[in-house]
Every structure is written in structure tokens, then in C-alpha cells.
Amino acid sequence: MNIHEYQAKQIFAKYGVPTPKGIMVESVPAAVKAAEELGGPVWVVKAQIHAGGRGLGGGVKLAKSLEEVRALSEEILGMTLVTHQTDAAGKLVQKLYIEDGADIKAEYYLSVVLDRKLEMPSIVASTEGGMNIEDVAENTPEKIIKVPVDPAIGFQGFHGRELAFGLGITDKAEQKNIINFAKKLFKVYTENDAEMIEINPLIRNGNGEFLALDGKMGFDNSALGRHPDIEAMRDLSEEDADEVEAAKYGLSYVALDGEIGCMVNGAGLAMGTMDTINHMGGTPANFLDVGGSANAETVAKGFEIILRNPNVKAIFVNIFGGIVRCDRIANGIIEATKLTDVNVPVIVRLDGTNAPEASEILKKANIANLIVGDDLADGAAKAVAAAKGN
Ligand code: GDP
Ligand code: MN
């Protein structure tokens, strides 16, 4: 789960990680009032959407008077912001963050991410702040430093010194400030079960202090049960409506741009199914994992969500019956075709416990448009053929 910049900064503030002062607003009058309260003389008007690259897209602008705050808020609030991190349709801006303008002497990049190879969190930093970090990694990898921190020992002085020296910070007071900043940020990361924190740019001001000018946080969904305060920050308007609805039924759904709807159980089987469809010359329209809940109701809901995508020309159901027996899944699928109107061919391949019985049940049901696949390759080939109208 991701949160907004202003929410990340609220969490930072709780841990004493310095940020500029700011106020989140949802209307133009509230934006002007917030600017008055902050005092100025310079403000930044920032679109709050769950995507970066807002600056380049016109969603972050500097205001030098209350009149400018009003004009820029009018311009940005309600705009559809397209950045390199949104899709082509962009995101509607419904919230603004009005922030004190900072005195920027230097810009850095700082993040805490999980290093899967080292199996521990790593602090990643660069002097190339404000730039797209993927480009920095590609063109000048020597400008990126990584400081892995074993969570068993936590953030120690030597981690901090490695970071400060790596960033070329030589002033003693500044060294102390950056080390303190990183130490607190690491605490934010571990105590909240974050998956990543990214600050781009982190800035140094004229007093040698470091401030998070931007803030992005992502969390481990499996740990949200331990953090009701963070779960409460969830903004469903920033998430895909179909994915949110699917999750309510215990389904993991991700929309893709092909033409064969896929319904499977288990993420590994989903990957294998999509690869096989590609191998047979087709393209998957989605990823839908019904998990352990392959019953009539969830299958019907799955069909319904898959069929909202007008590109879907066929549905391939590829389910492995282990704990749930295949004959029960087959009956569930037949029931589901009665619960929801399925107007494309459905190819079903079931394997595992009671697979032959399941195959019999499906064939006997004699439902138009329901095709039985003998194995994965056969099912995928039939789905590809059906999607092509053969
Ligand atoms: P992003 O484009 O979505 O990553 O949004 P950021 O929060 O990083 O803002 C984009 C850019 O606006 C930053 O890289 C800064 O250069 C600039 N910016 C943000 N806040 C301030 C500020 O207080 N003062 C000035 N001068 N520039 C700012
Ligand atoms: Mn940024």
C-alpha cells in the first residue's frame, strides 16, 4: 500500500525527521488560508497523487504571493496530471499540499529499500538529488552509494559515517545532522514495516540542516494489521476500482492489456498460465488469482470483473484442485455461469484431486461456450484459438 506525500511527511514528523511545514487542503479558499497560516513569503503548491514526476508534469509550483497561491491552486486542483509514473489517462488531482518554500543549498537523493540479495534493508543515497534515480543508476552508477543495515544490530554510528563520507559531507555539524536524519528515517522504516521510503530531493539549507522536501512511502500489506493508523491513510480513490472490489472477495486482480482473461489459483500458476498463453501466441488480459476460494460466488465475481474489460475475447480458467477438489470447482464454474452472463468462450482446465470426474461434469453440463482443456498446453491453445475466433 502507498500513501500520499503529505501523509509520509506526517509520519516523518512524528519521528523527528525534518520536513518543511505544510498543510493539506482540498479547495482553493482553504489553500489560501493555509498559505496565510504558514506565513510565507514563498510557498510551494503540490499536487497530491500516488505518483512521482509531478514537478515535470506541472503539479508542483512555486508561489511568491497569496495571489499566486490562489491562481496556482486553481490551476492544479482538479487537473488531470500525467507524469512518467501515471498511465496515459493520468490522475485527477483532488488534494493539494501547501508548503513553506525551502532555502535550498544542495539537493540529495535518499531512500531506504529492501535489498533482496543481501536480505536486509539498505540505505541508498546520491548527491544527484532531484534527478530521476533510475537514470543516475544507468548513466553514473558510481554516484550512488548503498549502506546495508542489518536490522539485528540496527542503525549504528559507522553506518551514518559511511553515508556522510559517501555523500562528500565534510562539515562536522552537517555530518551530525545527516547522520541523525538517517538514523531517524531508518527507525521510521523498521517500526512501520515499510517496504520503501524515498526522499527525492533531500535538501540541505543555509543552516546546514537537512530536510525531506519530498516523501514517498510504501508498506508491506501483510503487516498492515499491526498498523491501523497507517491503514487508515489508505486513499481508495488512488487505487484501481476493479482491484479494490476484487480484494473484497479475496481475489487478487491486476488488469493487463491482452485479450485472454485468466482465472487461476496461486501466483505461481498465474505466471505459468500467462507464459503459456504467450507461448501459444496469445496475450493475457489480466491476472486473477482466486486463491483458496474457488467457489461459485468468487468464480462468478471473477468472471464479472474480467468481463468489464471490453478487450477480453476468451477466458481461460486454469485451476489446480488440491485441498479444494476439482469436481467441486467444476460445479462452482457451472453455477457461476448461471450467476453472471458470460458472453465469451470459457476454456477450463482442472487438474489435481478428482480431475477426471470434473472433466465429466463439465462435459455433461453441455453449456454452450464452455470448452474443456485436457492439460495446460491444450487449454492455452484452445483459449488462444477461441480468442482469435477459431
Ligand atoms: P516529484 O516531481 O513528484 O518528485 O515532486 P517533488 O516533491 O520532488 O517536487 C518537484 C521539484 O520541485 C523538486 O525536485 C524541487 O526541485 C522543487 N521543489 C519542491 N519543493 C520546493 C521548495 O520548497 N523550494 C523550491 N525552490 N523548489 C522546490
Ligand atoms: Mn521528488
Q: Kindly list the distances between the CA atom of residue 128 and the CA atoms of 52, 156, 199, 214, 233, in Å, as whole numbers in the listed order.
A: 17, 25, 12, 14, 31
Q: Average pLDDT of the chain?
A: 94
DSSP per position, 300-366:
HHHHHHHHTSTT--EEEEEEEESSS-HHHHHHHHHHHHHHS---S-EEEEEEETTHHHHHHHHHHH-
The confidence score (pLDDT) of residue 8 equals 98
Q: Distance from the CA of 148 to the center of ligand 1, in angstroms?
A: 27
Q: Which residue has the cell 510557498?
A: 43
Reported as half-sphere exposure (CB side, CA atoms, 13 A), residue 181 has a value of 26
Question: What does the pLDDT look like over 173-230, one tens digit per residue?
Answer: 999 999 999 999 999 999 999 999 999 999 999 999 999 999 999 999 899 999 999 9
Q: Distance from the CA of 10 to the center of ligand 2, in angstroms?
A: 17
pLDDT, mean of residues 355-379: 93
Rounded to 10 deg, the angle between the 355-365 and 326-339 helix axes is 30
Question: What does the pLDDT look like over 276-301, one tens digit per residue?
Answer: 999 999 999 998 998 876 778 888 88
Which of the listed residues 12, 82, 213, 238 should we mutate to test ligand 1's pocket, taking the one with most ligand atoms within 8 A of CB?
Answer: 213
Rounded to 10 deg, the angle between the 241-248 and 296-307 helix axes is 180
Helical spans, DSSP H, in the chain: 5-14, 28-38, 54-57, 66-76, 133-139, 157-166, 172-191, 228-231, 241-248, 267-279, 296-307, 326-339, 355-365, 376-387
Task: Output the residue whose Cα is nearest ligand 1's atom 13.
Answer: 130
- Ligand 1 touching residue 53 (CB < 6 A): yes
| Euclidean distance between CA atoms 255 and 266, whole angstroms | 16
Query: Do residues 185 and 112 lie in contact, with contact meaning Cβ atoms separated by under 8 Å?
Result: yes
Query: Do residues 109 and 129 lie in contact, with contact meaning Cβ atoms separated by under 8 Å?
Result: yes
Q: Which residue has the cell 468489464?
A: 308
- Among 5, 34, 182, 3, smallest CA distance to 110 is for 182
Amino acid making up residue 31: A
This prediction has a pTM of: 0.83
The confidence score (pLDDT) of residue 132 equals 86
- Ligand 1 touching residue 269 (CB < 6 A): no
Query: Do residues 81 and 58 lie in contact, with contact meaning Cβ atoms separated by under 8 Å?
Result: yes
| Euclidean distance between CA atoms 271 and 284, whole angstroms | 10
Q: Distance from the CA of 114 to the center of ligand 1, in angstroms?
A: 25
Question: What does the pLDDT look like over 257-272, one tens digit per residue?
Answer: 899 999 999 889 999 9
Amino acid making up residue 169: I
| Euclidean distance between CA atoms 140 and 207, whole angstroms | 29
37 labelled catalytic: no
The 10 Å CB-count burial string (b at 16+, else e) for 167-177 is bebeeeebbeb
15 labelled catalytic: no
